[in-house]
Amino acid sequence: MSRILTREAFENAICANAAIGGSTNAVIHLQALAGRVEVPFSLDDWNRIGRNIPTIVDLMPSGRFLMEDFFNAGGMQAVLRRLLDAGRLHGDCLTVNGRTIAENNGAIRVLNEEVIRPMTHPLTEDGGIVVLRGNLAPNGAIMKPSAATASLMTHRGAAVVFEDIDDYHARIDDPDLEVDETSVLVLKNCGPRGYPGMPEVGNMGLPRKLLQKGVSDMVRISDARMSGTAYGTVILHVSPEAAIGGPLALVENGDMISIDASANSIVLEVATRSLPAARRNGCRPRRRPAVSSACSPTRFCRPTKGAISSFSRAGAEPPWHGITYDEGDDLVEMRSRARGHDAAGGHSSYPVGRAYRRSC
């Protein structure tokens, strides 16, 4: 396996995912695989390697065609041939059939150039997954450019905050919700520990009153995942997640948030006290529900590296503890917010039973 799961193979995967407009879930899976086989591989590799890789597959949700059309046009092998011809893949990487990437795909032809476009006429010129960093996501957050609205890739707007998915469902279509098309929808407590289980709820539906006005996309931010079939300017996997006291937990309605995909930045425009001070003054990590031995994520294995390992360290100190985040020359500090948290660090509206059963 070590001959197949090499550093070059993971780099090929980043390029292939960009070319097809692939799912943001690829980030979690590839980071976990690399960690398991101890191949050096970081979030920063997605920006470095995936930048300037065009999305050439005109496939829903990013494009027009269906999976059947993609298959009939030559499928994944035809995409790999395009990337090989452009010099964007390591063609000597070994595959499971004992042959290399180049040997497997070098003779494949594209059968429909509307569906699988030439590299010079892509669906999206820069289709690679973008990793954003900043005081709102010190450990990173991700977005999918091929599914996003180009005009929203650089954006500044006021936060409309939902404390969890039930809060979102209860209020998103409220006609009195203070929201407009420039707002940034923020969903908390839907990460690996917060939900728990990190569900695919990050592509929040837009408020009904804005849909009725013809608004088709807005910036949305969460610590959740979303399906590879989803569309929109959606920022996901915000880390550290809200449930362990990450900066996302501190966002309030009306806070200004700026994103700039070209600069890989995501900034919460708040400057008062430091993040550790916010924790001391009452913004504690959200308490996890009790986990039965049958469903415990630590029951089956205890990996020590890679994305999977985060699920086995239930008692680990949040990675931001004791740290302030320096954005350029200015120390961007966060204010204390304890709304919705009780004295013990729990949350009065947390739907423990239903949410946990659904995740198991």
Domains parsed from the chain with CATH numbers: 7-105 (no CATH), 130-359 (3.50.30.80)
Q: Is 227 a catalytic residue?
A: yes
The reported pLDDT for the residue numbered 51 is: 83
Point out which residues pair with 133 in neighbouring strands: 265
The distance of Cα 12 from the centroid of its chain, to the nearest Å, equals 20
At residue 355, the pLDDT reads 31
CA 323 to chain centre: 23
Single pTM value for the model:
0.78
Catalytic residue, candidates 23, 183, 227, 312: 227
Identify the CA nearest to 143 among candidates 259, 298, 42, 242: 259
pLDDT band at 353 (very low <50, low <70, confident <90, very high): very low
Describe the chain by its helix, strand, coil percentages, rounded to 5.
Answer: 30, 15, 55
CA atoms within 13 A on the CB side of 96: 0
- Gap between the Cα atoms of 254 and 130, Å rounded: 26
Helix pair 43-50, 25-36: axis angle to 10 deg = 120
The better pLDDT of the pair 62, 94 is held by 94
Q: What is the pLDDT of residue 283?
A: 52
* Banded pLDDT at 44 (limits 50, 70, 90): very high
In the prediction, which pLDDT does 341 show? 33
Average pLDDT rounded to a whole number, residues 30-51: 93
The pair of three-digit structure tokens given for residue 133, joined into one six-digit string: 């960093």
- The reported pLDDT for the residue numbered 323 is 28
By the 10 Å C-beta count (0-12 exposed, 13-18 middle, 19+ buried), 127 is classed as buried
